[in-house]
Amino acid sequence: MASASDTVLSVRELRTEFRGDRGNVRVLDDISFDVGRGRIVGLVGESGSGKSMTALSLMGLVPKPQGHVSAKSIMLDGTDLATLTPDGMRRIRGSEISMVFQEPMTSLNPVRKIWDQVGEPLAIHHGLKRRQIRDRVLEMFELVGIPEPKARLDAYPHELSGGLRQRAMIAMGLICEPKLLIADEPTTALDVTTQSQILRLMLDLRDRVGTAIIMITHDLGIIAEMCDEVNVMYAGQIVEQANVFDLFERPSHPYTRGLLASIPKAGAARVSRRMPSIPGMVPNLAKLPPGCRFGPRCGDAMPICQQRVPELVGLGQGHVAGCWLHAPQETSGQGAAP
């Protein structure tokens, strides 16, 4: 994990709740992690695990008044985002921290030219004039590998392919040279070839520009290719943290092992049996099971798993897991559940 001096983002005890007629539902519960300068950190887990909500919470985009975000601290290179007013967050968002969303067609205005949208952060945060913005957008289009970039400036979103729209969104996210870029499933809607191009582009930009990246995905193949450190999320909590090599070499949480077991193996012979999968579904956050949230789906569950929530336990070299299998023997040694 990154040292304090090399850390661009440090999140401590992030909580997000939604308030409704039937009470409050906590969708993020004490999320803590760090992102090192120039590093790529993954958030991985099934749909409903809280990955995208973590991103929206960090960006100050959780809808209000229904949603409420709190944290001990969210330090972005010395600025505590948790203490900022909405106006203060608007000054940071798009300038110091940016986000690339899953589907660019839902993020781009269909009746505005691409260059005008990509360059909008420059007008908001730096007060540049239209000619200056247009010139800078052209530079960014060249940087992210958009072919015939000058001809694309005046295009509308529907005139670009999905891959080019995603490159334009990446250009928008990087145009103010943020310290941190959040990429939320940036290749989900793209074909395999374009996915590979976008991932290579992001690695190249990380190396050239130096921006730290949070990579949100359900795809462990992308995690293996892209990330330096990984946070595995389940039902609004982080259940395992490790560098990418440790995570794949010695996964320590039963949920992480289940995710890895479900990856299709290249070259494996075709057989009639089904691929391995994790039984059950992510629990309803309004009706969480007692004790460990993964307990009802876990083949290693013990009686204590139904009684108490496990804490994250250090396993060495920054590797931690929240599972009673790794707790001290006097608290966990209660035998397997019948």
Per residue in 1-39, pLDDT (tens digit) is 455 568 999 999 999 999 887 788 999 999 999 999 999
Domain count, the chain: 2
Tokens describing residue 92: 């940071």
Q: Domain of residue 310: give its range.
A: 249-261+288-338
Query: Both 175 and 306 in a single domain?
Result: no
- In a domain, residue 279? The reply is no
Same domain, yes or no, for 209 and 171? yes
Inside any domain, residue 239: no
Closest of 139, 271, 278 to residue 218, by C-alpha: 278
Helix (H) and strand (E) counts in the chain: 13, 13
Residues 166, 199 within the same domain = yes
State whether 192 and 312 are in the same domain. Answer: no
Kindly state whether residues 86 and 176 are assigned to the same domain: yes
Residue 32 and residue 172 share a domain? yes
The token duo for 335 is 């035998």
Specify if 209 maps to a domain: yes
Length in residues, the chain: 338
**Mind listing the pLDDT tens digit for each residue in 194-242?**
888 889 888 988 888 889 999 999 889 899 999 999 999 999 999 999 9
Tell me the C-alpha distance between 138 and 154, whole Å.
Answer: 11
* Mean pLDDT along residues 139-156: 93
156 and 77 housed in the same domain:
yes
| Contacts with 114 (C-beta within 8 Å, 6 or more apart), sequence order | 108, 152, 153, 154, 155, 156, 157, 160, 168
Identify whether residues 71 and 116 lie together within a single domain: yes
Check whether residue 125 and residue 257 sit in a common domain.
Answer: no
Looking at the domain assignment, is residue 330 inside a domain? yes
In sequence order, the β-bridge partners of residue 34 are: 10
- Integer Cα distance of 295 and 303 in angstroms: 10
- Indicate if 309 and 210 belong to the same structural domain: no
The closest of 150, 129, 154, 130 to 141, measured between CA atoms, is 150
Is 235 contained in some domain?
Answer: no
Do 257 and 189 lie in one domain? The reply is: no
Q: Domain for residue 242, yes or no? A: no
Q: Could you give the percent of the chain with pLDDT greater than 70? A: 92
